[in-house]
Structure 1
Amino acid sequence: MTWHRTLRAGWQEARRRNVPMVIYISTDHCVYCDAMKRDTWCDETVEQRVSQDFVAILLTPQENQATLGRIDVSAYPTTLIGVPEGKIVGHRTGYQPAAAVHQFLSEALKR
């Protein structure tokens, strides 16, 4: 799965493909962020589903301070679903195992 490293780049692709965005907000030295990268986002079924039906965006405060200044991030990791029109339609905070991410993605696609 290819992660866009800026919201702008990912949003442009989401509009071009007319698919939602999975926006994963992580930070350095976060045990739960690292676990989710290792266990959830590397799960073959999650990778395939996100690559096919979504645009993946990875944001960190180290690289995306201005963007994240406009998003209320109460804890890391935070996972959002955004639509090409620019609205956030789904929000999860904390570590999410693969099964929970699949459910979250299914809910997003029903909207």
Structure 2
Amino acid sequence: MPRMLLLILTLVFLLARPVGAQDIQWRDDYKAARKEAAETGKALLLDFGTESCVFCRKLDATTFRDPAVVKRLGERFIAVKLDGHAERKLTAALEVTAYPTIIVATADGKVVGRHTGYLDATQMLELLDKAPAMAKQPVASKPEEKRRVPESVGASLEALYPKIAAALNRGD
């Protein structure tokens, strides 16, 4: 009986998706995604999570299924899903300390947006829309990001890129 119930629930979930619904084309190779971003002129969206992260699963099941979020990511971003436990060096270089953490970066790896914790679709769209504009502003004129960027990261965003580049070039 429990197997039958599980089968029925699985079928209901699969059939409940709208016809023609698209999924995000996730990449799992940061280096290849950076190269693709440089070639296409798109920004990077890095989604750091873990298998045991409840809010990571909620983000995948809700926010990353929202049609507006899927469309925006497909049009403007190279989306990269990274396991925080497997990608320890990149996680450390970007100072990811909790999951989920969403990082928006330019094609050359400059971090321009960041959020730790769950985001609903409206909040995600706000982050996606705001981050590219932030990349075009001089660093000194960027408004404070009190809600989203922890103080320890805000002062060192510019300093992180050389560390990441060095770690990736060494093949870490």
Instruction: Tell me, in whole angstroms, the C-alpha distance in 2 between the residues paired with 1:86 and 1:29.
Output: 27
Find the counterpart in structure 2 of residue 11 from structure 1.
34
Superposed, 1:39-78 pairs within 5 Å as 39-78=62-101
Whole-Å separation in 2 of the counterparts to 1:104 and 1:68: 20
SS of the aligned residue for 2:119 comes to: coil
Q: What percentage of residue pairs aligned between the two structures are identical?
A: 27
Report Cα offsets for 1:60-93 as digits up to 9, x if no partner: 1343233223221121000000001221111101
Pick the structure with more strand per residue: 1
CA distance in 2, matches of 1:66, 1:6: 14
Instruction: Trace 1:80-99 onto structure 2 (pairs within 5 A).
Output: 80-99=103-122
Residue 51 of structure 1 aligns with an amino acid whose one-letter code is G
Gaps of 5+ in 2: 1-23, 135-172
Q: Which aligned segments of 4 or more residues in structure 1 are displaced greater than 3 angstroms? A: none
Is the radius of gyration larger for structure 1 or structure 2?
Answer: 2
The alignment yields a C-alpha RMSD, in angstroms, of: 1.2
TM-score of the pair, normalised by structure 2: 0.62
Q: TM-score, normalised by structure 1?
A: 0.93
> Contact 1:6–1:64 (CA<8 Å) still a contact in 2?
no
Work out the number of aligned pairs and report it: 111
Structure 1, unmatched stretches of 5+, are none
Aligned to 1:85, the other structure's residue is in SS state coil
